[in-house]
Structure 1
Amino acid sequence: MPSLPSHRQGRRVLTPAPTRRVPAERAVVDCAVYVEGHRLPGRYTHSAALAEVRRRGTGFVWLGLHQPDEHQMASVARTFGLHELAVEDAVHAHQRPKLERYDDLLFLVLRTVSYIEHESVTTTKDIVETGEIMLFTGPDFIVSVRHGDHSELAAVRSRLEADPEQLERGPAAVLHAIADHVVDTYLAVTTAMQPDVDDLEELVFTPSTRIAVEQIYLLKREIVELRRAVVPLAEPLQQLIRAPGNPVPKDVRRYFRDVADHHITVSDRIAAFDETLSTLLDAAIAKVTVQQNTDMRRISAWVAIAAVPTMIAGIYGMNFDNMPELHWEYGYHLVVGFIAAITVLLFVTFRRNKWL
């Protein structure tokens, strides 16, 4: 007897619903055609924009995407001829800063950073957050893929559109403008972090203050995250400046030298922060050790003072019959006075030696 396709061993088999594919346009932030430094009016899909540029034989396309999925990125890759390995990196993100070349196509990964405002470094849990920007550049297009909510490029696009002479240099000019924007953000973040480091330094070296070592570890962790985002970019920048057969025009390479100089400044700041925090960590641990020694001295002093009446009371609490002192008329007063005298003497001695 034929079996029912919707049942198996008495249970109904549910066929999973097909995944709904979201069109690439849903991930598009902006798509524009630039000819002779000016943006053409009208709205374009990425395929229509590239067709327009190639029909004219001049200009380039700037396509901006935000966190596209695999299907959306595959559609863009087919249109612009992007390499599948670079496309995979652009979808899954979490890449180190790097520069890869596929024939006349450049793939640049930039890590973005953002400073999280907070009232005090001693109460916050996060100080910086990171994102990513992937850039595909070809002879007549640039595709920017952003990951993270703080990596907007609208200001960069507006600034370039106000400078047609710069835009006329083509996709390489946009590549430089985005890299310059990201490195300038690094400078702003390190400038904002300087007061946090200064506040911790003041707390550590202020007498009679307690500092949680965990807060130093927190800031050091944030510095490590910042270093991982910033420092590896040095090599890609040098490749853009000096690599043989570089498709970046020579007049644009000069601008990348300025970006590299700013990047060196940021790297030096991060190294200084890391060294300062290591010093603060050593000082804080030493301060905690000194405080523990002080506390132990204080505890030991009180234990010594308390040991006197305990010892004497223990002796006279023994149940021996032949203890002549038990029958003295003033024995109790003598013992209490002796205990008080020894206790006061120990207290004065410990106080004079700053144990109490």
Structure 2
Amino acid sequence: MPAVAHTWGMRCVVYDERSGRAEHVGCPEGGDGHAATLGRLKELAEGEFAWVHLDEPGEGDLEGLSERLGLHPLAVEDAVQAYQRPKRERYGDVLAVALKTLWYLRDGPEVETGDVMLFTGPHLVLSVRHGPADPTAEAARRLEEDPITLKFGPVAVLHAVLDTVVDSYSEAAVRVRTDLTQLECRVFAPARDDLTEAIYSLKREVVEFRDAVEPLVPVVQELTGPREGWPDEALPYFRDVADHIQRTDTEVHSLDELLNSALDAHLARMGTWQNDDMRRISAWAAILATPTLIAGVYGMNFAHMPELGWAFGYPLAITMMVVSAGLLYRAFRRNNWL
């Protein structure tokens, strides 16, 4: 990937479809860089197309580019505001595709998302990113390593970004699967840990994951068929991406179902623990009740009671307490109450 300078988070590369050459258009600090980029876009030769990328732009940053692409005001609004659901829109000759970027934090089981808007015209691609993750840098590297796909024109950029984003989904799904496996081991471990919060936390991340992947499946599927102005050679590449996103979508739904099962199993185990505790408490209460009853009867201190003057009365009462408690303890142990 050629070195990239930044102005307002902007970078621009002009590709030659025939030679695979990538020309970085300088974007020095200040407004002149923006003007130089717009000037170079007006001088595109036959067989050249440009890819302009903006990081979290404002409306002013899109003025010249939106005019160059002929973007609809609604498209400009979507690009600036972000937080779009994955979708595909057609504005004349421009195809707009909204994607959710997704990455898995290393410090804990947390999925974070961002947004990328792609506007693909006949000779120009505009990408707009919101959020820390930037798939366009990896996509540009892939284009440089595989210049053969550049013969597809701007469609090659759309494929490279889609492929990069979908690959990141697959990597995140592997991480979520690993965390889920560890959580399942803890659910069925002998230790009595309350994992309800951990399960709900991971489930919340899977729901956020699903919201990024599931709406993208029909969007990519629509790109796998013949389209006017698209080379037929590019269609197998999009079918490959569609296959990957379909597998990831299936994996995410599987993870969601497994989390539901893990939560049900954990709640069932917690109910079993509570029943065990109640049985233990009831067993010990029954064991202690008999000596208490005997001691209570002999502690009434009535004037006329049997064995009050008997020398073996006290040892007999103690023996009755111990024997009754022992018999009850043995019975509860045999029935697994203790």
Deviation at 1:174, TM superposition (A): 0.3
TM-score of the aligned structures, taking structure 1 as reference length: 0.83
Q: 1:156 aligns with which of 139, 159, 168?
A: 139
Contact 1:97 1:232 in 2 (8 A): yes
Contact 1:50 1:61 in 2 (8 A): no
The answer for the alignment partner of 2:299 in structure 1 is: 317
Percent identity of the aligned residues?
A: 45
Deviation at 1:179, TM superposition (A): 0.3
In structure 2, runs of 5+ residues without a counterpart are 1-5, 28-32
1:174 aligns to 2:162 (yes or no): no
| Aligned counterparts of 2:307 and 2:64: Cα–Cα separation in 1 | 104
CA root-mean-square deviation: 2.4
What are the equivalent positions in structure 2 for 1:196-275 lying under 5 Å apart?
A: 196-207=179-190, 210=193, 212-242=195-225, 246-275=228-257
- Tell me which moved more, 40-49 or 93-102: 40-49
| Aligned counterparts of 1:247 and 1:91: Cα–Cα separation in 2 | 28
Q: Summarize deviations over 1:307-354 as a string: whole Å, max 9, x none.
A: 122222333333644434544443332222211111111112212222
Contact 1:31 1:46 in 2 (8 A): no
Deviation at 1:196, TM superposition (A): 1.7
TM-score of the aligned structures, taking structure 2 as reference length: 0.87
- Tell me which moved more, 298-307 or 315-324: 315-324
Contact 1:27 1:72 in 2 (8 A): no
The answer for the alignment partner of 1:12 in structure 2 is: none
Deviation at 1:57, TM superposition (A): 4.0
Paired residue secondary structure (1:112): strand
- Tell me which moved more, 276-285 or 142-151: 276-285
| Aligned counterparts of 1:134 and 1:241: Cα–Cα separation in 2 | 19
The answer for the alignment partner of 2:73 in structure 1 is: 84
Amino acid at match of 1:92: Q
Q: Summarize deviations over 1:258-305 as a string: whole Å, max 9, x none.
A: 100111111121122122222222222222222221111111111111
The answer for the alignment partner of 1:335 in structure 2 is: 317
| Aligned counterparts of 2:49 and 2:36: Cα–Cα separation in 1 | 12
In structure 1, runs of 5+ residues without a counterpart are 1-23, 119-123
Deviation at 1:239, TM superposition (A): 1.9
Q: Summarize deviations over 1:128-187 as a string: whole Å, max 9, x none.
A: 211111111111211111112122422221221343332232211100110011111111
Amino acid at match of 2:127: S
Contact 1:109 1:132 in 2 (8 A): yes
Contact 1:203 1:209 in 2 (8 A): no
| Aligned counterparts of 1:146 and 1:295: Cα–Cα separation in 2 | 55
| Aligned counterparts of 1:90 and 1:320: Cα–Cα separation in 2 | 93
| Aligned counterparts of 1:27 and 1:265: Cα–Cα separation in 2 | 34
Runs of 4+ with >6 A deviation: none
| Aligned counterparts of 2:194 and 2:300: Cα–Cα separation in 1 | 49
